[in-house]
Each structure stands twice: as structure tokens, then as C-alpha cells.
Amino acid sequence: MKNQPSVVLNNGVEMPLLGLGLFRITNENGGFSQCIHDALEEGYRFFDTAEYYENEKDLGEALASSGLHREEYFVTTKLTNDNIKLHDTRNAFFRQLERLKMDYIDLYLIHWPVKGYEQAWVEMEKLYEEKRIRAIGISNGEEGHLNRLWECSGIVPAVDQVEMHPYKAQLKLRKICAERGIVAEAYGPFMQGELLSDSLIGEIARKYHKSPAQIILRWFFQQKIPVIPKTVTRERMMQNRNAMDFVLEEVDMEILHSLNKEQGSFPSPYEVI
């Protein structure tokens, strides 16, 4: 993927630093096809979906008709909790491929480590070995889950996608991931918008003549953390991408680090059963 700042995963696969999050966007509620069209025009080549988001089919159609070659975009999708619990990983994966009109997935994640996730992981490993998935990982994995996968698996997860933003910096988990060669990826970077009214972030935004969203995204990029903000607004897609193009001084990075209280808005994975 040319011109996309990226990180290299533990198996050599390149993953762009900025993707578009697609939770709560469907053609029924918000012009999904237009959203993908706008994102592609704004240079986005990385899309984060899940079976649970009910937009895989629309994403597949939009990408298939985009004129891009398959290797020009990066798609993450996730195995739902129900399919994990039903031990239906392999069938679920092929249904997802069909909906997405693809013959492989770039990054396939366990959506939540619910009961049965270790068995799901073994099935995902097979799909990886069969080259149907370029990289496998987990979402909402905490230290205990990473330990379990570590014990029962031949393949170290490439990614742990977790809620992360200046109020929940995930310092402990990031350290564990770094030690094991797992990339910690951030979801919910704006806390669904709530963080954008933080007064200190607002002050930094005024100093750089940027928006609060750009300051938050820059905080991620400077730490080389992949991030997937959701927006259906073309102007915001552009704004979010332009957060690649400036540098925060260390003193402002420190202010952003100081906001951390390790508190977010999503449930603990131990509450999701």
C-alpha cells in the first residue's frame, strides 16, 4: 500500500496506521456506500469491520466496484461472540469471505475473548496456514487472554485491538504487547466523541490551529499506534488523515499522557460473556 504510513506486524505484514472504523454505519442508517466512496477518494485504504456491524456485504460491494486491486487495501474483520461460542469459526469465516467478496482477509480478529476463544484461535491458525488470512489477532484481549493464547498456540497474535485514547492509554497492556511482539491497535479513539470536548485537548488544538480530533490522532501517530476513528463525514475523514502532517512538541505529548486515568466507555472483556 503505497503512501500509507504503516507498522510492520510480527509476521512482516504491513498494516496502515490509519483506518476507517465502520461500527454503526450501514446503508439503512447512514449511506454506507457513499461513506466508503468518500473514504477511498480521501486516500483511506484500511477498513475495520466485523460480522457484528452488519456491513460486510456493503463493504465488499463498495470495494469490488472501486477499481482498486485487492492488494491495494487492507481489511480487518472479526469473528463474532456467537460463532466463537458455537465453535463455528471455519464456517463463519467462509461466510464472511463470501459477503466481503474476497478470497483472503488481511487481519482477522477474535472480537471478544468469550468462552471458547482458545478453540477459535486454533481454527484461525489453520486458516492462516492456508493463507486465507494474512495476520490473526484478538480484540479486547487482556493479559490473561494473551497468556492463554501464548500457552495453547504456535502463533503469537499479530494484533490486540483494544479501546485506547488519552483517558485510557492501556500502558500495562501495551508494555506486555511490546514485549511479545504484538501490535496494540486503538479503537474508540475519541470515546465516541466525548473526548473532543476535553478542555486541555482544546487548548492544545488552539495552539496548533488544529481540531481536538487531530490532536488526539497525532498523539497516536507519534507513538506509532494504529488507530481506526469512525466518521461518516467526508470533511472529518480529510481532517483525520491530515493529522499525519504535523508534529506535537514533547511538552504537549506529556500533557496528553497526563490525562490518562485508564478509564474508558466499553465493558471489561470479563463482563462480556
Ligand X SMILES: NC(=O)c1ccc[n+]([C@@H]2O[C@H](COP(=O)([O-])OP(=O)(O)OC[C@H]3O[C@@H](n4cnc5c(N)ncnc54)[C@H](OP(=O)(O)O)[C@@H]3O)[C@@H](O)[C@H]2O)c1
The crossing angle, in degrees rounded to 10, of helices 117-129 and 89-100 is 50
95 binds ligand X (CB under 6 A): no
Q: Which residues contact 220 (CB under 8 A, 6 or more apart)?
A: 17, 164, 186, 189, 226, 227
Options 92-100, 118-126, 185-193, 218-226: segment touching ligand X (CB under 6 A):
185-193
CB of 142 to ligand X, least distance (A): 13
211 binds ligand X (CB under 6 A): yes
CB of 216 to ligand X, least distance (A): 9
Q: Using CB under 6 A as the criterion, what x/- string covers residues 131-150 for binding ligand X?
A: --------xx----------
Active site (annotated) includes residue 108: no
Among the listed residues 53, 73, 108, 187, the single catalytic one is 53
83 binds ligand X (CB under 6 A): no
- d(CA 169, CA 261) in angstroms, rounded, equals 8
191 binds ligand X (CB under 6 A): yes
Q: Which amino acid is at 99?
A: R
230 binds ligand X (CB under 6 A): yes
Q: Are the CB atoms for 177 and 141 separated by under 8 Å?
A: no
User: How many helices (DSSP H) and strands (DSSP E) are in the chain?
Assistant: 12, 9
Q: How many residues does the chain have?
A: 273
Q: Are the CB atoms for 3 and 16 separated by under 8 Å?
A: no
Q: Using CB under 6 A as the criterion, what x/- string covers residues 19-58 for binding ligand X?
A: --xxx------------------------x----------
111 labeled binding residue: yes
Nearer to ligand X, 2 or 209 (CB): 209
- d(CA 17, CA 30) in angstroms, rounded, equals 25
Q: Which residues pair with 77 in a beta bridge?
A: 108
Residues that bind ligand X (CB under 6 A): 21-23, 48, 111, 139-140, 161, 187-193, 196, 211, 213, 228-233, 236, 239-240
Which residue ranges make up the annotated binding site for substrate? 111
Catalytic residues: 53
